[in-house]
Structure 1
């Protein structure tokens, strides 16, 4: 979802991408010429990951997702834009941990076995990763609400709210509280609410809303994986960081 959503904006040639190419000294004309190529590679990798999931693709998404997210603050946008996109690189990172990590170069290009046994220590690492990533993506979006990002205010106005600033303040406080709960006290019922909230609010984009929603698949995926892992964690008290001995 992340690769395909992001790649679609390359094909569409999203104007704001020019700012990110400019970080590398690439001019507007060249940026527009490069966008479809970047988008095409993203989409190809997304499709390949769906049908032939390999660690190499997940590893690239960790790097690529982090770099493209960091280009936002690097181009003058708030730092919250970077951490709000933690799902883009955090979800594939959790997948790499879950698959046992990378032990050799050859393993990079082997298909990940979904039926492989996962030991308690690995599960603990995945669980902690999901909590941290979930914290960042909720905290980042809450932060953007509190500083009243123009795009978010426009979304609330388009939905018919008479006071978008107040809505942004409420949403920001809610999301920051949600982020802290995910990090320190994740409860399955609350995490489910946060999944619905995140998936629903990402549909408010007035333009290209479908692609915006798809691109943020890592956000929903992270929270969904956390919700699923909470069930496994609660039924398996031998996981190291949950046992009484630790």
Structure 2
């Protein structure tokens, strides 16, 4: 059977869709982030300073970090390994924590919940798989989980999505983030609301409410909307002429796929397969 003929089987079940969405999200996140290391980005200097690394050394380290991120992203998609995914989750959490440690608002940490939660969910899928895997063993099979494990993954993704929506909403509602204000001004969004301040406040509070809604009622149409909303809002990096905006957009891929992964997890919990291989509805 040709490789092309096998492609549809990758997405033949809800479980396979979840597994590939998570891997794709992690891949995009690390490739996008790594690209800025290779390019080198002045905005990273304060984060190196938190570790006491001087500027001249930070410029030299950035490309090394960037290449590492890109390699990890590619491996997550094509050759996932338990140890690497756990490291990626820890790395994502550490880099997100550097922002408030460097003097930025705590909302910067919250908004990047997808950076550490999506790799963590992928790691847990391997860890909880009925087939045991070594820490550096390449996972070739589709992980098989119990309903209880799926419930925990649902909660984790649900919280992660709510947190990053609330965090991003706080950028406008509380922080009046300059970068976000510039995006709204350049793309004409501010004009639609009458002023930059109004755009930041209204859209910010809308995202906060959206996050709360996901936390308490993650219904299908809401999750699809969140996915579309995330794609639209992150595309503002491109349309506002941000520094290598495409890589900013790609870096947030984990946040874009998270609502879709959550949708399919909910479907896994909603339906089960009986002893005759027939899918049936399960009432929780």
- TM-score, reference length from structure 1: 0.91
1:196 aligns with 2:196: no
Change (3 A) 1:114 1:128: farther
Q: 1:239 maps to what in 2?
A: none
d(CA) in 1 for partners of 2:128, 2:37: 30
1:155 aligns with 2:183: yes
- Give yes or no for contact 2:128–2:145 (8 Å, CA) kept in 1: no
Change (3 A) 1:114 1:199: farther
1:23 aligns with 2:53: no
How far is the alpha carbon of 1:76 from its aligned partner?
0.3
Q: What is the correspondence of 1:136-147 to structure 2 with a 5 Å cutoff?
A: 136-147=163-174
d(CA) in 1 for partners of 2:205, 2:177: 14
1:173 aligns with 2:209: no
Out of 233, 247, 260, which is 1:224 matched to? 260
Q: Secondary structure at the match of 2:51?
A: coil
- Give yes or no for contact 2:114–2:160 (8 Å, CA) kept in 1: yes
- Give yes or no for contact 1:97–1:125 (8 Å, CA) kept in 2: no
Q: What is the correspondence of 1:48-87 to structure 2 with a 5 Å cutoff?
A: 48-87=75-114
Deviates more, 1:122-131 or 1:218-227: 218-227
What 5-or-longer segments of structure 2 have no aligned partner? 1-27, 273-281
- Give yes or no for contact 1:6–1:39 (8 Å, CA) kept in 2: yes
Structure with larger Rg: 2
What 5-or-longer segments of structure 1 have no aligned partner? 237-241
- Give yes or no for contact 1:99–1:113 (8 Å, CA) kept in 2: no
Q: Secondary structure at the match of 1:112?
A: coil
How far is the alpha carbon of 1:203 from its aligned partner?
0.9
Change (3 A) 1:190 1:49: same
Q: 1:93 maps to what in 2?
A: 120
How far is the alpha carbon of 1:83 from its aligned partner?
0.9
d(CA) in 2 for partners of 1:44, 1:201: 27
Out of 61, 67, 72, which is 1:45 matched to? 72
Out of 235, 239, 250, which is 1:214 matched to? 250
Change (3 A) 1:89 1:102: farther
CA RMSD of aligned residues (A): 2.2
How far is the alpha carbon of 1:233 from its aligned partner?
2.5
How far is the alpha carbon of 1:101 from its aligned partner?
4.0
Change (3 A) 1:157 1:114: farther
Deviates more, 1:20-29 or 1:109-118: 109-118
Q: Secondary structure at the match of 2:52?
A: coil
- Give yes or no for contact 2:93–2:115 (8 Å, CA) kept in 1: yes
